[in-house]
Structure 1
C-alpha cells in the first residue's frame, strides 16, 4: 500500500535528512560553553584557594609580628605571658583537655616557637606545648578571633593532637595549621627541606597527626599544585610552599627536590602543605 499524502511524505523526508550545519553548529557551541564553564570553574576554585592561603599566611605573620612588637616576645614562646593573663594549671605541661580559656603558660623565651630538631624525640618536648600556646597567646592578645585551650587535645600519644576551633584555628574541614621552628636533620625520607631552619606553618589533620582515615584529610596533590603554582613556583620540593614526600603513595614524583613534581596520579586527600613564614 502506498501513501501519497504530501504531509506524511514531508515528515518522512525530514526525518531522513539528519541535522543541518546550523543545528550542528549550535550543538558544538553548547558543548564548548559547558566545557569552558567546567574549566573556568576549576580556575575560579584554584584562584580562591590560592587567595585564601596567601591571606592566611599574611594574617598569621602580621599577627605574630604585632604580638612581638607589643610584648617583646613571640606567641607561644613568650616567657612573660602570665604577667598579662592568668596562669594555667601545672605549667608548662598542662594536662591535655578540650577547654578553650584565657589561662595560659609561659614559653621558654628562646626566641623560637616550638623549636625542635626533626627525628630527635628529646627535642620535641617543647614543641608539644608551644605550638598550641601560640594560638592561645594570639587570641588572648586580640590578634586572632576565637579562644583556645593552649594544650594538646586528649588522644593518642602524640603532641600534635589537635582539633580545629579548640586548640588551633580551623581553616577548612580537615585542614588546620600549626606553627613551629624546625631544624631538619637527615630527614630526606619525609621532607625536602633537609638542613633547613625556619618557622613553618604546617598543615595537619583534624584529630591528630595521623587519623585512622588518613587519606580523607588534607589535600590532593592537584589541589596543592594549584595553590603552589599561584603563590610560589609550582614545585613540591622547592620554594616557600612545599609538601611532604610521605605517606605512601608519595605526594611527589621524586625525592629529588630539583626534579620532583606533584604526583597527580594520587587522588586521595592525604597530602599536607608546608609554608615557610620567613622568620
Structure 2
C-alpha cells in the first residue's frame, strides 16, 4: 500500500498569466498618472495665460498695474489698499483683489492673506521678483515638481530655466548651465514674466 498525496500549486503558465495581468495594471496606473500630470500642467499654463491677460486688461482700463495701482480704491470699490504706482507689483497681496473686484478674474481675495493656488496646489502670485537670474513683473508659481516647471517652460518659452521669459530656480544659485532634472525635485519658484 502506497499512500499517494496529490500536490497542488500553480503552474508556470498560471504564474505567467498573473504577472502579465499585474504588468498591465501597473502600466495603466502609470499612464493614468501621466495623463493627470499633463492635465495639471495644461491647467497651470492656462491659469498663467489668463492672469497675464487680466493684468493687461486692468492696465488698459486703469493705466496702472493691479496691486501697484495708486488709485485702486477709486478704480475698484471695495479694494482694501492702493499701491505706490512705481510700476513694480511689490504689493502682490493686493493684486488678485484688484483684479477680482475689477471683474478680470473670479474669486474673493481680502488683500492681505488670501492668495491664488495652482492645479498642483502651490501658491500663485502676481509679483515683481527675481527668478532664474531675471527680475520683473510676472506670474510666479511656487513649489512645482521640476517636470511640471520644465513642461511649462518648454510650452511657453525655450525649455531652459535661466533664459527667456519663463525662468525657474533650479539647483539653488543662478547657474547658466542649470537644467531641469525631472527627478521629482520641487522647484521653489517658477516665473512667467510679462
| TM-score normalised over the length of structure 2 | 0.77
Higher share in strand:
2
> C-alpha offsets along residues 215-270 of structure 1, whole Å, 9 cap, x if unaligned?
xxx34xxx23234235525544344444325xxxxxx288523243337385xx5x
- Indicate which of 163, 183, 186 corresponds to 1:264: 183
Shift of 1:72: 2.4
- Indicate which of 111, 121, 127 corresponds to 1:180: 127
Q: After superposition, where does 1:204-223 map in structure 2 within 5 Å?
A: 204=142, 218-219=143-144, 223=145
After superposition, the Cα gap between the structure-2 partners of 1:84 and 1:254, relative to the gap in structure 1 and judged at 3 Å, is closer
* Stretches of structure 2 lacking an aligned partner (at least 5 in a row): none
List structure 1 segments (4+ residues) > 6 angstroms apart after TM superposition. none
Which structure is larger by alpha-carbon Rg, 1 or 2?
Answer: 1
The 2-side partners of 1:236 and 1:150 are apart by 31
Name the SS for the 1:108 alignment partner: coil
* Stretches of structure 1 lacking an aligned partner (at least 5 in a row): 87-101, 115-126, 152-162, 185-190, 205-217, 246-251
- Indicate which of 183, 191, 194 corresponds to 1:275: 191
The 1-side partners of 2:103 and 2:38 are apart by 29
After superposition, the Cα gap between the structure-2 partners of 1:59 and 1:66, relative to the gap in structure 1 and judged at 3 Å, is same
Q: Would you say the 8 A contact 2:153–2:167 is kept in 1?
A: no
The 2-side partners of 1:70 and 1:253 are apart by 39
The residue aligned with 1:46 is 37
Aligned length: 191
After superposition, the Cα gap between the structure-2 partners of 1:141 and 1:85, relative to the gap in structure 1 and judged at 3 Å, is closer
> C-alpha offsets along residues 165-215 of structure 1, whole Å, 9 cap, x if unaligned?
x2x223368621222234x5xxxxxx531xx343222235xxxxxxxxxxx
The residue aligned with 1:107 is 83
> C-alpha offsets along residues 13-60 of structure 1, whole Å, 9 cap, x if unaligned?
xx37x5244x34422321221221232022112202211211110110
After superposition, the Cα gap between the structure-2 partners of 1:226 and 1:77, relative to the gap in structure 1 and judged at 3 Å, is closer
